[in-house]
């Protein structure tokens, strides 16, 4: 008794891809991504219009005085003071960038290549602290230098991260000292 073993199954061609359906799904996906991008952009513009009452950012004076400290690192954004998720985007404050900070007797100069530079006069500094997060950026505890300053009627927290995080405590001490000196001077002048 001989058993026959089939050597091949019945001849059959490979399934053909339905390119019409596949291209249709890719088109739907691209439209969804474009819509999501457009909505995010509209939200950003809406936030800028809500914050339009914020005055223009001050620029550094011609002679800012002697340099106390310098820092090279990243600017991670600004928020309403005490509300780390309420991002401020008016006047370019929402744009993340590389930053060079210089602390002088006149105040804090923030130079941002590719974004708007700004200056915080010493009398507007309200203090500094180490924190772990600011709108859209969360780091390890103490990994972010947060500078609190007054701009118009608004108190603002601006977050920076040095290329060398060991510099942060010296900055907190210097900024707190400078803001205290100016608060004491303002009180004595009145």
The model's pLDDT over 127-179, given as tens digits with 9 standing for 90+, comes to 999 988 787 777 777 789 999 999 888 899 999 999 988 889 999 999 988 87
pLDDT over 60 at 190, yes or no: no
Q: Quick check: 171 and 128 in contact, CB under 8 A?
A: yes
Question: Does residue 60 fall inside a structural domain?
Answer: no
Average pLDDT rounded to a whole number, residues 103-132: 91
Asked whether residue 81 falls in the same domain as residue 161, the answer is yes
Q: Please report the DSSP string for 155-183 in residue order.
A: EEEEEEEESSGGGHHHHHHHHHHHHHHHH
Asked whether residue 119 falls in the same domain as residue 39, the answer is no
What's the token pair of residue 93?
A: 């404050």
What pLDDT is attached to residue 31? 96
Which DSSP symbol is given to 57?
Answer: P
Question: Does residue 36 fall inside a structural domain?
Answer: yes
Q: What is the CATH number of the domain that holds 167?
A: 2.30.29.30
CA distance 148 to 110: 14
Asked whether residue 92 falls in the same domain as residue 157, the answer is yes
Asked whether residue 26 falls in the same domain as residue 71, the answer is no
Q: How many domains does the chain have?
A: 2
Question: Does residue 134 fall inside a structural domain?
Answer: yes
Which DSSP symbol is given to 141?
Answer: T
Asked whether residue 103 falls in the same domain as residue 178, the answer is yes
Domain enclosing residue 40, as ranges: 20-50
**In this predicted model, what pLDDT tens digit does every residue of 21-47 receive, in sequence order?**
889 999 999 999 999 999 999 987 887
**In this predicted model, what pLDDT tens digit does every residue of 75-99 receive, in sequence order?**
998 988 888 888 888 888 888 899 9
Asked whether residue 162 falls in the same domain as residue 127, the answer is yes
* HEC per residue, 60-124: CCCCCCCEEEEEEEEEEEEEECCCCCCEECHHHCCCCEEEEEEEECCEEEEECCCCCCEEEEHHH
Asked whether residue 77 falls in the same domain as residue 147, the answer is yes
pLDDT band at 10 (very low <50, low <70, confident <90, very high): low
Asked whether residue 30 falls in the same domain as residue 85, the answer is no
Asked whether residue 171 falls in the same domain as residue 110, the answer is yes
Task: Say what the pTM is.
Answer: 0.72
Asked whether residue 34 falls in the same domain as residue 102, the answer is no
């Amino acid at each position: 008794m001989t058993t026959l073993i089939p050597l091949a199954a019945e001849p059959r061609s490979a399934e053909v891809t339905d390119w019409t359906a596949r291209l249709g799904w890719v088109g739907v996906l691209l439209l969804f991504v474009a819509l999501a991008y457009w909505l995010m952009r509209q939200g950003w513009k809406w936030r800028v219009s809500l914050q339009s009452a914020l005055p223009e950012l001050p620029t550094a004076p011609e002679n800012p005085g002697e340099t106390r400290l310098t820092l090279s690192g990243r600017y991670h954004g600004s928020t309403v003071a005490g509300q780390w998720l309420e991002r401020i985007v008016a006047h370019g404050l929402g744009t993340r960038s590389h930053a060079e900070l210089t602390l002088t007797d006149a105040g804090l100069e923030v130079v941002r290549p590719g974004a708007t530079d700004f200056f915080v006069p010493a009398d507007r500094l309200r203090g500094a602290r180490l924190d772990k997060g600011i709108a859209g950026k969360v780091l390890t505890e103490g990994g972010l230098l947060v500078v609190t300053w007054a701009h118009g009627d608004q108190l603002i927290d601006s977050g920076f991260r040095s290329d060398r995080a060991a510099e942060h405590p010296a900055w907190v001490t210097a900024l707190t000292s400078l803001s205290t000196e100016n608060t004491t001077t303002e009180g004595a002048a009145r």
